[in-house]
Structure 1
Amino acid sequence: MLGRMSARLATFLVFLLNGAVFGTWAARVPALAEQIGAEVGSLGLALLGASVGLAATAPLAARVCAVYGSRGVLIASALLSPALLPVLALSQSPLQFGLTLVALGGSIAAMDVSMNIAAVVVVRDLQRALMPQFHAGFSFGGLIGSLGSAAAAQAHWAPMRHFLVAALVCIVVTVLIAKKIPGGVGERHREEVTERRSVLKSPVLWLLASVALCSAIAEGAAADWSALFIVRERGMGDAAGAYAYAGFSISMALARWFGEPIQRTLGPHRLLATGGALAAAGLALAVAVPFPAAGYLGFGLAGLGLAFSFPVVMDLAGETGKRADGSGGERELGLVTTIAYTGFLAGPPIVGGLAHVSSLVVSLGFVALVTALIIPAAWLARRAARQRASV
């Protein structure tokens, strides 16, 4: 079976593994916070570590992938990311937790950039709008990771035991599929990609990056704070809190899985704007209606609305850098990913800081307003793209 595995399936599984690693530790934030004795303010600063690692590593990973291809970076980071989970479980203070998250965030960033470049290779080869389906793999992985976290919490597993099992499974799967992972740009493009090409002068790219930025803030808030919100603001247990992120991941995964015909029907920019409106409404519902059911429904709607933001933006960004021979787009993907990760960088301290002086209800309400900014950014990106095409 593995011998007949396609590059498309292998790439999908890599997305799934990345989501599983992220969902595994994100859904255990309440238990980890208790272990290190962190309140919302110090926890927000500790979670900043993952975002620092993400933002610092993404542009470097894009450069390496552009010259040497994405395959080696992808395999290495796919092995390292789960291996860092047990290290995370060793944390006994917010400082240790944050420093470990810097390393984990850097590894996840390298994996994120390289797997998106690999996905672009498959999309261009098959000439289909498959990017949402690949990102559905990340969402399915987040679902698997969060459900595993819920089961571990219900079984009263300590984070160390849980993370050791999760790491072993992820590493074994990576080893099994490594040979089928596509490679992206290789040595034959080295001279071309090492020429200095500015991607900073493209209005289309910056507008797409702003969509990714707002989406990342919202997605990061749901990942980092949904479980804690359900536990502390709605009075539920740790296992019930983990299901909040599970619902978010389920909605996002299903929307992305069926995203190809939806994207063809609405078009990419209209899809971005519609999704932003739905996500903002979902977050507003979660914080405005003081019942656990409204929280679960709201995070589910947020997952549904945010489902297409990142994959569609990555697809459009890759097209802006496409070369005549059908390759290219690595630096554009790196820039958009880096800007998006500043959303993950800014999100934890903003939500944690606002929650410290007010409550998680207020801070997540602010995130809902930020999410709504996706709507005008998407329409402006469409206008800028049309003007660029007419030149």
Structure 2
Amino acid sequence: MPTPSRPTSTTRAIARTRSTAQAQQYALPVLFALFGVIMGSWAGRIPAMAERVHVSHSALSMVLLCGGLGAVLSYPISSRMMGSLGARKTLLFSGLALLCVLIAIGVAPTVPLLMMAVLSLGITASTFDVAINSAATAREKASGKSELSKLHGLGCAGGLAGATLGSLMASLHIAPATHFLMLAAPLAIILYFAFTLLDADDVGATVEKKSFSLPRGPLLMLGVLGFLGSMAEGSIADWSGVFLKEHFGASDGLAPLALSCFSVMMLLARLVGDKLKLRYGARSLVTSGSMLGAAGLFFAVLSPNAYFALFGFAVAGMGMALVFPFVFSAAGAQGPAALAGVASMAYSGSLMGPPVIGAIAQGMGMQIAIAYVGGLAALIAYVASRARMLK
């Protein structure tokens, strides 16, 4: 009877290589979800942190603006780190810094210190975002397979999980500082293991040494799309619940569902966005989707009650879901410097969105303010139809 052959060293090496390759496939999805958890956890504890430092509503808007300002100012940092370290090391260092900043936000005892911490959050979060999107677009180019929509969908899922965890911690009366300290250690471990598994090049890219680089030529259209998309998404995140409460008299329990409906439908749309891109192309999806988003927002504005408005916000989330993934994918295909420039321009939309919508709401009412966001969505569709780099 023949003796079963033992696996040779070559066979074992091939098996290890296959298992490593399989594990590497999960690194980027984990990193996108982790980023969502961090940002969702921060957003979910904003009310508690505002109460802790006794900040007024006007002062809170200034605190939140510091995050957008930090994102805009991140360009020289992200471009320099990407140029010298590459995407893989940049996401490790910026991710660890982001977790440290999260703790600093939780323990900040005064409004000025909280503003400095949130400014740092904008810088580190934007740098981390540029790094993971650069790694993702590099993998898209190498494999020829679109996957950025699914990855951004996982980021949405992480954000919802982080916000839900924040609500749970708040209901248990756990202070933000304690919450963030409990969160930082396990997330740092997950970050490190995902970093070790990530199959990305450590070779840096040559970038321009400027404090800020406005995209030029066809790339400018991508920057404009990112700017308008960020402005629209940020406005819905900040003001949709206020709209339901002020315009329809919705309860404190019902009003936050506007953002939930928007976010859940955005998540579901992003999970199938890559397959749709293969069939229809990025430009047609962003154009038609943004028109659908505009229709959803106008429907919410003209709705007879809050429940119809929730349906409108859900439609808007589905329609606008693919703007960021496809804009970042197109920019990343041009290199890390192009991605950093487009990302900086995009994040400046989050800086301008809250005060613009607030000013419109103050002068003309929340109904006109949300209608203005619908106009932004329609403008996104117009710009996307002329963006040659969206393919």
Instruction: Check whether TM > 0.5.
Output: yes
Call closer, same or farther: CA 1:139–1:68 in 2, change over 3 Å.
Answer: same
Deviations 1:317-365 (A, max 9, x none): 233x2xxxxxxx1111111101101101111222333344455444333
Please list, as runs of the form range in 1=range in 2, the aligned pairs for 1:1-391 lying within 5 A after superposition. Answer: 6-91=23-108, 94-184=111-201, 186=203, 193=206, 202-229=216-243, 234-237=249-252, 242-289=256-303, 291-319=305-333, 321=334, 329-357=335-363, 359-382=365-388
Give the conservation status (yes or no) of the 8 Å contact 1:147–1:242: no
CA distance in 2, matches of 1:73, 1:87: 21
CA distance in 1, matches of 2:340, 2:21: 31
CA distance in 2, matches of 1:272, 1:341: 19
Call closer, same or farther: CA 1:374–1:86 in 2, change over 3 Å.
Answer: same
Counterpart of 2:370, as a letter, is: L
CA distance in 1, matches of 2:344, 2:369: 24
5+ residue gaps in structure 2? 1-15
CA distance in 2, matches of 1:8, 1:381: 31
Give the conservation status (yes or no) of the 8 Å contact 1:28–1:149: yes
CA distance in 2, matches of 1:90, 1:360: 34
CA distance in 2, matches of 1:139, 1:160: 24
CA distance in 2, matches of 1:283, 1:94: 34
TM-score by length of 1: 0.84
More moved, 221-230 vs 166-175: 221-230
CA distance in 2, matches of 1:44, 1:122: 38
Deviation (angstroms), 1:230: 5.0
SS in structure 1 at match of 2:146: coil
Counterpart of 2:35, as a letter, is: N
Give the conservation status (yes or no) of the 8 Å contact 1:150–1:243: no
SS in structure 2 at match of 1:69: helix
More moved, 24-33 vs 267-276: 24-33
Deviation (angstroms), 1:32: 3.5
Report % sequence identity: 28
CA distance in 1, matches of 2:314, 2:222: 24
Counterpart of 1:58, as a letter, is: Y
Deviation (angstroms), 1:50: 0.4
More moved, 148-157 vs 98-107: 148-157
Deviations 1:288-330 (A, max 9, x none): 43644344333322322221111111122233x2xxxxxxx11
Give the conservation status (yes or no) of the 8 Å contact 2:294–2:374: yes
Give the conservation status (yes or no) of the 8 Å contact 1:40–1:352: no
SS in structure 1 at match of 2:387: helix
Deviation (angstroms), 1:252: 1.5
SS in structure 2 at match of 1:144: helix
Deviation (angstroms), 1:170: 2.2
Give the conservation status (yes or no) of the 8 Å contact 2:330–2:390: no
Deviation (angstroms), 1:102: 0.3
SS in structure 1 at match of 2:199: coil
CA distance in 2, matches of 1:277, 1:164: 42
Deviation (angstroms), 1:70: 0.9
Deviations 1:240-285 (A, max 9, x none): 5554433332212211111112112221111111121122233334
TM-score by length of 2: 0.84
Counterpart of 1:63, as a letter, is: R
Give the number of the structure whose alpha-carbon radius of gyration is greater. Answer: 2
Give the conservation status (yes or no) of the 8 Å contact 1:149–1:242: no
CA distance in 1, matches of 2:256, 2:58: 20
More moved, 263-272 vs 201-210: 201-210
Counterpart of 1:209, as a letter, is: G
CA distance in 2, matches of 1:314, 1:103: 23
SS in structure 2 at match of 1:219: helix
RMSD: 3.0
Call closer, same or farther: CA 1:247–1:102 in 2, change over 3 Å.
Answer: same
Deviation (angstroms), 1:205: 0.7
SS in structure 2 at match of 1:365: helix
Counterpart of 1:341, as a letter, is: Y
Give the conservation status (yes or no) of the 8 Å contact 1:23–1:146: yes
Counterpart of 1:124, as a letter, is: K
Deviation (angstroms), 1:121: 1.9
